[in-house]
Amino acid sequence: MPGFEWLGEQEQEAVAEVMERGVLFRYEFDQQRQGIYKVREFEEAFAAYTGARFGCAVSSGTAAVKVALAALGVGQGDEVITQGFTFVATWEAILDIGATPVFTEVDETLCMDPADLESKISDKTACIVPVHMMGAAAKIDEIMAIADKNGIPVMEDTAQAAGGSFQGRHLGTFGAMGSFSFDAVKTLTCGEGGMVITNDEALHQSASEYQDHGHDHKPVGRGNEGRRFIGFNYRMMELQGAMGLAQLKKLPDMVATQRSHKAALKEAVSRVPGVSFRELPDEAGDSATFLSWFMDSPEAAVKFNGLLSENGAGAVPWGVNTWHAYPHWEHLHAGATVAKGGWPFVRPEETLDFQPDDLPRTAGLLSRCLSWQIMLGWDEEHLKQMTEAVNRAIGGM
Ligand SMILES: Cc1ncc(COP(=O)(O)O)c(C=O)c1O
Structural domains in the chain? Answer: 3-250 (3.40.640.10), 251-396 (3.90.1150.10)
Strand-pair category, 165-166 with 79-83? unpaired
Which residues make Cβ contacts (< 8 Å) with residue 108, sequence separation at least 6? 276, 278, 279, 294, 365
Among 158, 181, 236, 240, say which to mutate for ligand 1: greatest number of ligand atoms within 8 Å of CB. Answer: 181
Among 134, 179, 183, say which to mutate for ligand 1: greatest number of ligand atoms within 8 Å of CB. Answer: 183
Among 67, 69, 85, 87, say which to mutate for ligand 1: greatest number of ligand atoms within 8 Å of CB. Answer: 87
C-alpha–C-alpha distance, residues 16 and 74, integer Å: 40
Ligand 1 centroid, distance to 61 Cα (angstroms): 5
Ligand 1 centroid, distance to 1 Cα (angstroms): 14
Ligand 1 centroid, distance to 175 Cα (angstroms): 18
Give the residue numbers marked as catalytic. 186
Within 10 angstroms of residue 341's Cβ, the number of other Cβ atoms is 7
Which atom of ligand 1 sits closest to the CA of residue 185?
14
Q: pLDDT per residue over 269-287, tens digit each? A: 999 999 999 999 999 999 9
pLDDT band at 2 (very low <50, low <70, confident <90, very high): confident
Q: pLDDT per residue over 137-157, tens digit each? A: 999 999 999 999 999 999 999
**Orientation of helix 38-50 relative to helix 9-21, angle to 10°:** 140
Q: For every residue of 30-98, which 3-state class applies, written as one string?
A: CCCCCCCCHHHHHHHHHHHHHCCCEEEEECCHHHHHHHHHHHCCCCCCCEEEEECECCCHHHHHHHHCC
Q: Whose CA is nearest to atom 16 of ligand 1?
A: 87
**Orientation of helix 89-96 relative to helix 61-71, angle to 10°:** 40
* Contact criterion met (CB below 8 Å) for 387 and 271: no
Check residue 208 and give its pLDDT: 98
Within 10 angstroms of residue 108's Cβ, the number of other Cβ atoms is 16
Which residues are registered as beta bridge partners of 290? 373
Which atom of ligand 1 sits closest to the CA of residue 131?
1
Mean pLDDT of 177-193: 98
What's the order of all strands across the beta sheet hosting 100-104?
Answer: 100-104, 79-83, 125-128
CA angle 241, 244, 250 (to 5 degrees): 155
Among 88, 91, 97, 160, say which to mutate for ligand 1: greatest number of ligand atoms within 8 Å of CB. Answer: 160
Mean pLDDT of 78-90: 98
Task: Name the helix (H) or strand (E) containing 310.
Answer: helix 298-310
Q: What is the DSSP string of 198-258?
A: ES-HHHHHHHHHHTBTTB---SS-GGG--BSS---B-PPPHHHHHHHHHHHHHHHHHHHHH
* Contact criterion met (CB below 8 Å) for 138 and 112: yes
Check residue 1 and give its pLDDT: 60
Q: Whose CA is nearest to atom 10 of ligand 1?
A: 61
Strand-pair category, 79-83 with 100-104? parallel
C-alpha–C-alpha distance, residues 258 and 74, integer Å: 36
Q: Whose CA is nearest to atom 14 of ligand 1?
A: 87
**Ramachandran angles phi, psi of 230, nearest 5°:** -75, 150
Which atom of ligand 1 sits closest to the CA of residue 324?
16
Amino acid of residue 152: I
Amino acid of residue 47: A
Ligand 1 centroid, distance to 133 Cα (angstroms): 10
Q: pLDDT per residue over 231-255, tens digit each? A: 999 999 999 999 999 999 999 999 9
Check residue 269 and give its pLDDT: 98
Radius of gyration, CA atoms only, the chain: 22
C-alpha–C-alpha distance, residues 173 and 186, integer Å: 19
Check residue 353 and give its pLDDT: 96
* pTM, rounded to two decimals: 0.98
Which atom of ligand 1 sits closest to the CA of residue 194?
10
Which residues form the pocket of ligand 1, taking CB atoms under 6 Å from any ligand atom? 60-62, 65, 86-87, 89-90, 131, 157, 159-160, 181, 183, 194
C-alpha–C-alpha distance, residues 137 and 76, integer Å: 29
Nearest CA to 2 out of 185, 176, 127, 269 is that of: 185
Which atom of ligand 1 sits closest to the CA of residue 65?
4
C-alpha–C-alpha distance, residues 286 and 192, integer Å: 23
Which atom of ligand 1 sits closest to the CA of residue 93?
4
The mean pLDDT of the chain is 97
Ligand 1 centroid, distance to 140 Cα (angstroms): 19
State yes or no: pLDDT of 365 exceeds 90: yes
Sign of the torsion angle spanned by Cα atoms 163, 244, 90, 362: positive
C-alpha–C-alpha distance, residues 130 and 86, integer Å: 9
Ligand 1 centroid, distance to 34 Cα (angstroms): 33
Q: pLDDT per residue over 122-134, tens digit each? A: 999 999 999 999 9
Which residues are registered as beta bridge partners of 80? 101, 127
Ligand 1 centroid, distance to 275 Cα (angstroms): 29
State yes or no: pLDDT of 191 exceeds 70: yes
C-alpha–C-alpha distance, residues 264 and 231, integer Å: 47
Q: What is the DSSP string of 89-127?
A: HHHHHHHHTT-EEEEEPB-TTSSB-HHHHHHH--TTEEE
Check residue 247 and give its pLDDT: 98
Q: Whose CA is nearest to atom 8 of ligand 1?
A: 61
State yes or no: pLDDT of 349 exceeds 90: no
